[in-house]
């Protein structure tokens, strides 16, 4: 059985078993796993002969969400690390160490919002023994990973803040947005929120009328927009069919296949 299957079985058991009441919030372990894998993919760094991926991931949760992980946090982060390690192997990505996932609390986040800081960290213990012929190449690759370190952070939250490797910094808050679907209220990241059937999407819909990567919602210069990603059935916005992109307003109704959702912004 693959680590992906065992991971989902393990998390599913926790959800339905003794720890079921812990994860009633909107931030669930499997949702964090999908976002972590996407961060790993989007923050690759190419050096002379390898493709590196971030090896350290800080997950920022609201105080209420974080409290729900009390007692099982170590088990969940261990599962997330195993998930990322297998994802890196499948994508043939190089890691400078085994993935590290740590939870943190941010009082500015609301229930259901979370952010992820991905960093490429060169550990002192990571030393390769190379001959004279390979020393220059190895040094160049290490320099490339260290140079990329500061640029490997991206926030997955409606709260537009960023934390650099050297400490926290505050950015001007972006407009907050949410998608309401099937009794869930999901925060939309300003940098992009993809909806589709693929497990790599931010919102995964089990709907045969929805394409694997159907649409993307993101914050643009003129406000929030929805953009078709080449779907088969297109988008219906307030009952009208659109086939490219459109500006979203709070209260707009979005239909993808047989699924209807509501966009909110404030």
Strand partners, 61: 105, 114
Residue 99: the pLDDT is 93
Q: Are 229 and 248 in contact (CB under 8 A)?
A: no
pLDDT in tens, 81-98: 999 998 898 888 999 899
Residue 174: the pLDDT is 45
Low-confidence ranges of the chain (pLDDT < 70): 1-26, 123-175
| Surface-to-core class of residue 70, CB atoms within 10 Å of its CB (0-12 exposed, 13-18 middle, 19+ buried) | exposed
pLDDT in tens, 192-246: 899 999 988 999 999 999 999 999 998 887 788 999 998 999 999 999 998 778 8
Residue 8: the pLDDT is 52
Rounded to whole angstroms, the Cα distance separating 183 from 29 reads 19
Residue 9: the pLDDT is 54
Q: What is the SS3 string spanning 90-107? A: HCCCECCCCCEEEEEECC
Helix extents (H) in the chain: 3-16, 29-42, 63-67, 73-90, 132-148
């Amino acid at each position: 059985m693959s680590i992906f299957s065992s991971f989902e079985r393990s998390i599913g058991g926790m959800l339905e078993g003794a720890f079921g009441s812990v994860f009633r919030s909107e931030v669930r372990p499997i949702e964090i796993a999908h976002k972590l894998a996407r961060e790993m993919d989007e923050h690759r760094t190419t050096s002379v002969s390898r493709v590196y991926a971030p090896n350290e991931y800080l997950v920022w949760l609201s105080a209420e969400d974080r409290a729900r992980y009390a007692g099982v946090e170590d088990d969940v982060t261990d599962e997330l690390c195993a998930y990322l390690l297998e994802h890196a192997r499948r994508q043939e990505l190089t890691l400078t160490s085994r993935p590290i996932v740590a939870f943190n609390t941010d009082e500015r986040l609301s229930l259901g919002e979370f952010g992820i800081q991905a960093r490429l960290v060169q550990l002192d213990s990571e030393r390769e023994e190379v001959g004279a012929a390979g020393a220059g190449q190895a040094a160049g690759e290490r320099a490339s990973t260290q140079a990329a370190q500061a640029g490997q952070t991206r926030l997955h939250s409606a709260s537009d803040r960023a934390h650099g490797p050297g400490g926290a910094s505050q950015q001007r808050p972006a407009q907050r947005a949410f998608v309401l679907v099937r009794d869930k209220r999901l925060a939309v990241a300003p940098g992009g929120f993809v909806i589709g059937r693929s497990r790599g999407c931010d919102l995964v819909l089990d709907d045969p009328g929805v394409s694997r990567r159907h649409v993307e919602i993101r914050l643009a210069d003129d406000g929030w927009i929805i953009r078709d990603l080449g779907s088969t059935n297109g988008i219906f916005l307030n009952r009208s069919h659109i086939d490219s992109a459109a500006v979203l307003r709070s209260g707009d109704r979005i239909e993808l296949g047989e699924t209807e959702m509501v966009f909110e912004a404030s």
